[in-house]
Amino acid sequence: MSKSESKSHRKPALFWGWGNADEHLSDEENHLIENMVRLLLPQGAVELSPPQVDEFELPESRLGELPDALAEMVSTTPYDRLLHSYGKSYPDMARMYLREVPNAPDGVAFPRTEEDIAAIYRYAAEQGVAVIPFGGGTSVCGGVEADVGDHYNATLVVDMENFNRVLSVDPVSRRARIQAGIRGPDMEAALKPHGLTLRHYPQSFPFVTLGGMVATRAGGHFATVYTHIEDMVEATRTLTPSGLIETRDLPGSGAGPSADRLICGSEGTLGIITEATLRLQQRPQWRATASVIFQSFLQGAEAVRLIAQSGLFPSNCRLLDEQEVMVNRVANRPCAVLVLGFESADHEVSHWMERALEIAREQGGELKGEVQYNGGHGDQRASEAESWRNAFIRMPYWRNRVTAFGIVADTFETAVTWDRFPEFYRTIKREMEGAIAKISGHPFSFSCRFTHVYPDGPAPYFTFYMVGDTEGNLHNAIDKWKSIKQLSLQLLADHGATATHHHAVGRDHRFGYEQQTSPLYRQALAATKQCLDPDGLLNPGVLIDPVGKEVGIRGVFSGLKSPQSP
């Protein structure tokens, strides 16, 4: 096969934005976006045209003549290189609109076997090539951009799309061994005939890969107990440049520090995850959903705290603040809304729901409408949950066009203990709204919801829309985004919150990550990397730097100083 043809067998994706190339916004969506733009920019704004592959000037691939084994699996087409240049963060898409891809990889490999990956490692070590593992490419924190610094002769992305099979299913223990490159919907389709499901639906679900979720500690469907993918990971199989790390498929263990927990969150810096054994759920038969109105977000937060500490373990416990409610048209007056859900494959859940609602009422909550049951009471979701869910799924698609108008739409998310939360929320809201108003100079929106909740604290998720530029100059918008991002990371650090609850560190959150971790721990991680990846091939600059190859904080934050640099 010639190098000028893509080696991908996936449905063609939109290389510059969210979704597949054949997915489009509906007329209604376009109408809503235009309304939103008018709201933020009554005077109008330049709309940039969607990027085309031939508008990009990519430097020639530095891979040169490849050995046969690699030539078979490596593509250097402009489309493949562009598609694998960025994740899906705001500055990623903005730079696409700018037709600027300073770190396009020199090629994209599509291995079919672990031997193929080993061959890639050998080649990369010999030639001084950085290797960037790539799953769904949905990173929103610079996790896949090949901005690797000056120590490498070239960059090669490894797309895991061919590792796409469910290898075995064990319905007795409710688990399955699955290859890491499988996408969310394909995995669920393969599990469905067994009555099983992972029920892990990040916003990126249609595109996300299992390996990507494991590598980044993705957050999923369940609001409590099983919040992160690592709660579902029973075992992993990871090929590192030094060899294989395979863990035993155990329901629990106390034998030494967990190897799985080293792999979860390694973000492609230690090895490429090729398989994972996952703990699954039976498909729920009973569901209950309710919406509870609170006068204020902090009043609702107190109810959520008590529900999170109750041991009722709701599957959904999403509290939306006043602004989130308005932006997503969940209610037509400013109030906080708690979308509460219980589900079970074993038992009817009304008892659980009733007690949770009792707690909510004791804190001043007011049930909106009725509890929606299925399994006996019909199969409707509460309309608030449904409107919110639709908005959630379509949001990244909307951003494709919103960005063209110079509007910055972005999110950041964290977790913080309950005792700190009220002060944290007030400060974040005050400081961020103040900063956005000042930086943007236009109307904006800044809202918050809880995605997951723990007995010891919530995981708040903030969304903002602001005008970055009205003249089609997205450099300007990116600079504004950077200021906002840096401020948010600093505020999270100052309040003892985490730089990320489930979006991972990548390059964009290293500034915050370095404030919340002991330098000695990062050194220990670097020592681990040195053992597993002695040539420092893998994803250099993400999370930590390879020993002897300082990358520092790069990507869109190039030049930012680490708060704890030695």
Contacts to a second copy from residues 437-466, by CB under 8 A: 452, 454-459
Q: Which of 46, 167, 225, 393 is the binder for a second copy (CB under 8 A)?
A: 225
Burial 406-426 (b: 16+ CB within 10 A, else e): bbbbbbbbbbbebeebeebbe
Task: State yes or no: residue 256 binds a second copy (CB under 8 A).
Answer: yes
Instruction: Report the distance separating Cα 86 and Cα 108, nearest Å.
Output: 13
| Closer residue to a second copy, CB minimum distance, 258 or 383 | 258
CB of 452 to a second copy, least distance (A): 7
| Closer residue to a second copy, CB minimum distance, 108 or 499 | 499
The position carrying tokens 């979701």 is 381
Q: Which of 79, 461, 465, 513 is catalytic?
A: 461
| Closer residue to a second copy, CB minimum distance, 140 or 156 | 140
Q: Binding segment for a second copy among 27-35, 179-187, 263-271, 473-481 (CB under 8 A)?
A: 263-271
Q: Which of 122, 279, 283, 429 is the binder for a second copy (CB under 8 A)?
A: 279
Q: Binding segment for a second copy among 71-79, 123-131, 167-175, 470-478 (CB under 8 A)?
A: 167-175
Burial 164-187 (b: 16+ CB within 10 A, else e): bebeebeeeebbbbbbbbbbbebb
Footprint of a second copy on 474-503 (CB under 8 A): 496-503
450: amino acid identity, one letter:
F
Q: Binding segment for a second copy among 28-36, 39-47, 212-220, 403-411 (CB under 8 A)?
A: 212-220
Task: State yes or no: residue 523 binds a second copy (CB under 8 A).
Answer: yes
| Helix 383-402 and helix 27-40, axial crossing angle in degrees, nearest 10 | 70
Q: Is 461 a catalytic residue?
A: yes
Q: Which of 247, 316, 328, 488 is the binder for a second copy (CB under 8 A)?
A: 247
Q: Which of 11, 49, 60, 172 is the binder for a second copy (CB under 8 A)?
A: 172
Instruction: Report the distance separating Cα 12 and Cα 82, nearest Å.
Output: 12
What are the Cα distances from residue 14, in Å, to 18, 34, 96, 138, 194? 6, 21, 11, 12, 33
Q: Beta strand 154-159 with 129-134: parallel, antiparallel or unpaired?
A: parallel
Q: Which of 42, 193, 252, 566 is the binder for a second copy (CB under 8 A)?
A: 252
Return the C-alpha torsion angle 195, 185, 279, 218, nearest 10. -150
| Closer residue to a second copy, CB minimum distance, 398 or 418 | 418
Chain-centroid distance, C-alpha 540: 19
Under 8 Å between Cβ of 132 and 146 = yes
Footprint of a second copy on 286-315 (CB under 8 A): 305-306, 309-313
Q: Which of 285, 344, 383, 427 is the binder for a second copy (CB under 8 A)?
A: 344
Q: Which of 101, 104, 158, 218 is the binder for a second copy (CB under 8 A)?
A: 218
- Beta bridge partner(s), residue 367: 292
Return the active site residues: 461
